[in-house]
């Protein structure tokens, strides 16, 4: 799956989890907590939605700081 498609899928998930989020401001350098305002609950919801959309299970509890790190992980683990 191409990185741009993964980013678009991630943005769809973010919009569902946090409807007020400005998706135009989301890029690979965006920090999940500082820039996007995610907290532990929304990060958990994000993780569950990623597993569903991209059809894989996280191994352990990954620690992501940026959107780019999430994209890297999805790119390595998705089969969609």
**pLDDT value, residue 79:** 73
Q: Residue 68 has which token pair?
A: 């780019």
**How would you write the pLDDT of the chain (80 residues) with one tens digit per residue?**
799 999 999 999 999 999 999 999 999 999 999 999 999 999 999 999 999 999 999 888 788 999 999 999 999 988 76
Decide if 6 contacts 79 (C-beta within 8 A).
no
Give the pLDDT confidence score for residue 62 in this predicted structure. Answer: 80
CA distances from 30 to 7, 55, 60, 66 (A): 12, 24, 23, 5
Q: CA-to-CA distance for 70 and 37, rounded, in angstroms?
A: 16
Supply the DSSP symbol for 5: H
Structural domains in the chain, sorted by start: 3-77 (1.10.1200.10)
* Predicted local confidence at residue 59, as pLDDT: 84
């Amino acid at each position: 799956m191409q990185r741009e498609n993964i980013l678009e899928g991630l943005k769809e998930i973010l919009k569902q989890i946090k409807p007020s989020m400005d998706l135009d401001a989301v890029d690979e350098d965006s920090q999940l907590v500082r820039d996007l305002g995610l907290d532990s609950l929304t990060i958990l919801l994000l993780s569950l939605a990623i597993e569903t959309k991209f059809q894989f299970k996280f191994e352990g509890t990954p620690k992501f700081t940026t959107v780019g790190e999430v994209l890297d992980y999805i790119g390595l683990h998705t089969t969609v």
